[in-house]
């Protein structure tokens, strides 16, 4: 937009006549300045509300077994557990091999000593049965805080069927934890000349990951009605475990105990229970009742 400014000028005529003033007006275009749209600086920079991220809750895991603290299976399990995020792993295991001692406990004092697993991880050895390790840890202030989970194993040898599970120290320790209100998992690997525990470790980690939220959310105290047992075949000739099936526990004939045919083509739909699944190359997951068979008390 242009504005006009009037400028008056005077001109005069010469030569004898009277001075005569003549007004001349000229319009001079001038550019009008644009309005200032620049914001005035503020005295303070804008701030955003601080955000707080809660630290993830740590899952406390107590590990025991019945083969003794220096066994290969418990060491492999602990090494695997330590790869999980946000876990605290405490090991309390028998001083010596206590296979086949079920849920037996010792009356009176329990002696304990500081030891190390085969990999060097610190542990406590209890001079007693597998269930004594649970008693020492949970009832005699052996651990600073109650665990969210007890894992017993990995046992050298399967613990399938009623007639075996009742005698298993691995299962007995898991049951002792459930009786004291702590969720528990027993893990066993099939017999073999050389046992690769990695399939059992992998399945234990998968189970823990699947159940982590409910383990953390649970408030302990009351005895539990059940606990879980996983048995993993030891495959031969380069074969692999065929997967895991959730099945019922069944009775067993002595002659069936050593079968682990990971090359079997028996379909999963034909599996009838833990013996059937294990013998045909599947890892088997069973839920065992704390009271009743295979336990008498």
3-class DSSP state for residue 126? strand
pLDDT at 19: 42
User: What tokens appear for 267 in the block?
Assistant: 């379909």
d(CA 32, CA 35): 9
Angle of the 198-217 helix axis to the 72-81 helix axis, nearest 10: 50
Fold of 59-220: Stationary-phase Survival Protein Sure Homolog; Chain: A, (3.40.1210)
d(CA 64, CA 62): 7
Domain spans of the chain?
59-220
> What is the length of the chain?
297
Provide the residue-wise pLDDT of the chain in tens; the chain has 297 residues.
Answer: 434 333 333 344 344 444 433 443 444 444 444 445 444 455 455 556 666 677 889 999 999 999 999 999 999 999 999 999 999 999 999 999 999 999 999 999 999 999 999 999 999 999 999 999 999 999 998 999 999 999 999 999 999 998 788 899 999 999 999 999 999 999 999 998 899 999 999 999 999 999 999 999 998 778 999 999 999 999 988 899 999 999 999 987 656 677 899 999 999 999 999 999 999 999 999 999 999 888 865
Q: What is the DSSP letter of 124?
A: E
d(CA 129, CA 136): 11
Peptide bond into 294 cis (omega under 30): yes
Peptide bond into 154 cis (omega under 30): yes
């Amino acid at each position: 937009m242009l504005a006009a400014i009037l400028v008056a000028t005077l001109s005069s005529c010469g030569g004898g006549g009277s001075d005569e003033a003549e007004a001349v007006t000229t319009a001079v275009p001038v550019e009008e300045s644009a309005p200032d749209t620049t914001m005035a600086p503020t005295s303070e920079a804008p701030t955003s509300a601080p955000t707080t991220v809660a630290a993830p809750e740590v899952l406390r895991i107590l590990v025991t077994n019945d083969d003794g603290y220096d066994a290969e299976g418990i060491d492999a399990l602990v090494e695997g557990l330590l790869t999980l995020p946000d876990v605290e792993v405490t090991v309390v295991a028998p001083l010596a091999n206590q296979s086949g001692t079920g849920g037996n406990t010792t009356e009176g004092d329990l002696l304990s000593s500081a030891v190390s697993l085969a990999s060097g991880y610190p542990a406590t050895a209890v001079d007693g049965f597998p269930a004594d390790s649970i008693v020492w840890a949970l009832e005699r202030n052996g651990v600073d805080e109650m665990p969210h989970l007890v894992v017993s194993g990995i046992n050298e040898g399967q613990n399938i069927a009623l007639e075996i599970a009742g005698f298993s120290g691995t299962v007995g320790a898991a049951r002792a934890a459930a009786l004291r209100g702590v969720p528990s998992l027993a893990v066993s690997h099939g017999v073999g000349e050389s046992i690769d525990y990695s399939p059992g470790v992998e399945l234990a980690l998968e189970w823990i990951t699947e159940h982590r939220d409910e383990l953390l959310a649970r408030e302990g105290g009351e005895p539990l009605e059940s606990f879980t047992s996983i048995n993993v075949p030891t495959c031969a000739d380069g074969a692999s475990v065929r997967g895991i099936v959730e099945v019922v526990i069944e009775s067993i004939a002595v002659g069936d105990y050593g079968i682990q045919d990971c090359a079997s083509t028996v379909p999963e739909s034909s599996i009838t229970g833990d013996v059937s699944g294990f013998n045909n190359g599947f890892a088997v997951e069973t839920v065992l009742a704390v009271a009743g068979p295979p336990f008498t008390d």
